[in-house]
Structure 1
Amino acid sequence: MSDNKTILVTGGSGLVGRAIQKVIESEGKSNETWVFLSSKDADLCDYNATKQLFEKYKPTHVIHLAAMVGGLFHNMSHNLDFLRNNLHMNDNVLQISYETGVKKVVSCLSTCIFPDKTEYPIDETMIHNGPPHPSNFGYSYAKRMIDVMNKAYFEQHGCMFTSVVPCNVFGPHDNYNPESSHVIPGLIKKLFDIIKEGGDTFTVMGTGKPLRQFIYSLDLAKLFIWVLREYNEVEPIILSVDESSEVSIQQLAEELVNAFDFKGKIVFDTTKADGQFKKTASNKKLRKYLPDFQFTEFSQAIKESVDWYKENHDTARN
């Protein structure tokens, strides 16, 4: 019985949580009980509500995905809210994990928390090497503090609290809200609506030249589960596709056109800003542990994501 695990997943109803749930269901391991929570289950900014949640489920392990997130404009105008809410949430989850004897916590960071001015590719040692981009400094500093707290809990109490840093994630159950979505779900919804309205022009903002690394949510889910079971370093680990798998926004648009079988034309609105040209992350540390891990082909992952949205657009987060 001592080998039995109860794994609590905060933010379990989102993109990554749903992907983890799907992978776990396909495995059917008998000694693991997984509990996927959403914001409806408790306000993690409230210490007592969080404590009651842990007392109810008695987790031995935690995957902490929950966070206050938002689009660029919301971040810029609410940096204090993003800072305070995420600090409260993260502090409660880690402190109560310590108080209740949780054996391991894996928290989720983001490549957007890295310094605004840095060298590429970025790696795990560079998180604290300078200020983050001013547009989302509240969110970034709150997330960075998870790494600081993990090290402090380990140093003072011997806790195995660690964190992962994914590159851009996409897949089924994404956020398609035009105000807060990331580039892939945003373009999926846009092209879906164009086709639905009988349009023949798919307009993409910018030149299409910037490069990005995208990881399919089901691949990330498998890596998250590996980290939970096998990775025993307090230092964070970047979960990213290889540097050679970077794609341009133009290539992304072309893959979406193929996946939708759209017969119209792609137009790039070069009056709109491109943003950063590249944000390359190194996965050398991951490859040291998992040299043979196979990432899903980008075209296949895009097709599966598009097909899911076509089937579920009425109930998706639009």
Structure 2
Amino acid sequence: MGAEKVILVTGGTGLVGKAVEYVSKEESQPGERWVFVGSKDADLLSLESTKALFEREKPTHVLHLAAQVGGLFANMKLKVEFWRNNIIMQDNIFQACKDFKVEKLVSCLSTCVFPDKTTYPIDETMIHNGPPHSSNEGYAYAKRMVDMQNRLYKEQYGCNFTAVIPTNIFGPHDNYDLEDSHVIPGLIHKCYLAQQKGEPFTIMGSGKPLRQFIYSRDLARLMIWTLRSYPEADPIILSVDEADEVTIGDVAMAIVDAMNFTGAVEFDTSKADGQYKKTASNAKLRKYLPDFKFTPFKEAMRESVQWFVDNYSSGNVRGVKL
């Protein structure tokens, strides 16, 4: 019997962490112990607290999901905090993984790290080809540094560190704050309230922009595969196929169907649409996993909406003030 694998998941109480916890129960292998930690378990902005966590849990593998994240307005207002806090967290995790001889570290980036002015589809080679969009440059530049750190630690210390780049994520345990959430949880919350109040469901913008959405539990399966099997230091985009891109209007109608919403649906075209498309290529992922099956979008949306409805009154749904 081999030595125990201890897999430490930072950000273990968030959208992706909860999905990894859910999937790890189905896909755990003999000799694996999964440890999910949140901000109450360790302050990752403190090197001392981070090292104490590693001393306590003695991880052999780390999935680093913890980050300072937020919606558009938070990113625009707090660029320095998004830069500093993510850089400090990353640096502490990298140092601890090196010092404690962690076998594999997988960090999580975002497609917003890519240049604002680019060609589509974007792929893993294009991260550093130009500045990111100015609205989230603090976060984006901080996360770009993960890619650089992975290469530097491999070159100097031989560390097996890498990163994944998911497209837009949705699923249970999201942040549903009406002011500061991402598009799907915000629309789920708005549709639910419109249903309760008998009011129209209003979507900001024309509904025409295109996005690739990945269900959090599909992403969790791919992250676990990355942790166990992906051999490169260079990052890998985790995304549905380009053919599965959907419009924001499609998203809204999938929520309407899942919620059995019977009221009026309106698009407020006086509001800006934002970037029209951010298409990412999953060619590298398909090279490794040609047969991976993603959960159909409408099925994933039904599960996500049902989780929100079931948990709305519990007081445990992030971003919901009862």
Flag structure 1 segments of 5+ consecutive residues without an equivalent. none
Task: State the match for 2:24 in structure 1.
Answer: 24
- How far apart are residue 42 of structure 1 and its match? 1.1
2:110 and 2:142 mapped to 1: Cα distance? 11
Deviations 1:7-65 (A, max 9, x none): 00000000011011111112342210000000111110101000000000000000000
Task: State the match for 2:301 in structure 1.
Answer: 302
Mapping for residues 236-275 of structure 1, pairs under 5 Å? 236-275=235-274
Return 166-175 or 77-86, whichever deviates more: 77-86
Flag structure 2 segments of 5+ consecutive residues without an equivalent. none
Task: State the match for 2:55 in structure 1.
Answer: 55
Contact 2:42 2:49 in 1 (8 A): yes
Mapping for residues 41-190 of structure 1, pairs under 5 Å? 41-190=41-190
1:229 and 1:3 mapped to 2: Cα distance? 15
Task: State the match for 2:11 in structure 1.
Answer: 11
Contact 2:5 2:60 in 1 (8 A): yes
Contact 2:8 2:37 in 1 (8 A): yes
Deviations 1:261-302 (A, max 9, x none): 111221111000000110000000000000000000000000
1:277 and 1:24 mapped to 2: Cα distance? 35
Give the letter aligned to residue 14 of structure 2.
Answer: G
Give the letter aligned to residue 46 of structure 2.
Answer: D
Runs of 4+ in 1 over 6 A off after TM superposition: none
**What's the secondary structure of 2:43's corresponding residue?**
coil
1:91 and 1:125 mapped to 2: Cα distance? 23
Return 6-15 or 77-86, whichever deviates more: 77-86
Return 250-259 or 215-224, whichever deviates more: 250-259
1:156 and 1:178 mapped to 2: Cα distance? 45
Task: State the match for 2:317 in structure 1.
Answer: 316
1:268 and 1:25 mapped to 2: Cα distance? 41
TM-score when scaled to structure 1?
Answer: 0.98
- How far apart are residue 145 of structure 1 and its match? 0.3
TM-score when scaled to structure 2?
Answer: 0.97
1:184 and 1:171 mapped to 2: Cα distance? 9
1:2 and 1:84 mapped to 2: Cα distance? 40
2:173 and 2:44 mapped to 1: Cα distance? 22
Instruction: Give the percent of matched residue pairs that are identical in Structure 1 and Structure 2.
Output: 61
- How far apart are residue 198 of structure 1 and its match? 2.1
**What's the secondary structure of 2:164's corresponding residue?**
strand
Task: State the match for 2:39 in structure 1.
Answer: 39
1:77 and 1:210 mapped to 2: Cα distance? 24
Give the letter aligned to residue 316 of structure 1.
Answer: V
Contact 2:2 2:31 in 1 (8 A): no
1:263 and 1:84 mapped to 2: Cα distance? 46
2:160 and 2:17 mapped to 1: Cα distance? 21
Give the letter aligned to residue 250 of structure 1.
Answer: G
Deviations 1:58-112 (A, max 9, x none): 0000000000111211111211111111110000001110011000000000001
Matched positions, count: 317
**What's the secondary structure of 1:313's corresponding residue?**
helix
Give the letter aligned to residue 133 of structure 1.
Answer: H
- How far apart are residue 3 of structure 1 and its match? 4.3
**What's the secondary structure of 2:285's corresponding residue?**
helix
1:251 and 1:135 mapped to 2: Cα distance? 26
1:228 and 1:180 mapped to 2: Cα distance? 30
